[in-house]
A = this chain, B = another copy of it.
Amino acid sequence: MDERTPLEVHDRLGYLVKHAFVLMEELNDRALAPFDLTGRELALLMTLADLGSPSQQEAAEALHIDRTTMVAYVDLLESKGFVERRPDPSDRRRNVVELTDLGRRALRKGRQASDAAEQELLAPLSEVDRRRLRQALSAIAGPGRA
């Protein structure tokens, strides 16, 4: 009870991708709110866990965000007690960013909640279609394109 006429713009790839993104963001942030996390913050926690204890620069590159943006994220997660900054003894220009125990716990809980949000977004799709969508998006936006 919303659309009368099918609109051309609703079939454009740009429109579809944008609204899939907005929806995913909403579901993700809603699922993560109980753990005091946003989707972007969870992504950073995941990156820190994957990379060991990277510098801010390395983490920023892995997430394809600007290093000046990373400063604010680390500030935020540090204020929540999820990560700690530590100057790298072997190169004192660098800040090593490490997960705290609290941060590791938030990561575990957050990953579960985010998994559930993904399932919610993918609900209209069959198992095969979900796999195909993932593969298509990886081919489009994955390594070597950004």
Contact = CB atoms under 8 A, between A and B. Distances in A.
Contacts of A33: none
A72 interface: no
A64 B18 CA distance: 11
Copies in the complex: 2
Given A9-B43, A129-B132, A132-B136, A17 B20 contact: yes
Contacts of A145: 19, 23, 124
A17 to B, nearest CB: 5
A13 B121 contact: yes
Interface residues of A, number: 54
Interface stretch (A45-53, A74-82, A86-94, A98-106): A45-53
Contact of A140 (B2, B8, B23, B139): B23
A5 B124 contact: no
Interface of A: 2-3, 5, 7-25, 28, 39, 43, 46-47, 49-51, 62-64, 114, 118, 121-122, 124-125, 129, 132-134, 136-146
A39 B39 CA distance: 25
Nearest to A146: B19
A63 B134 CA distance: 26
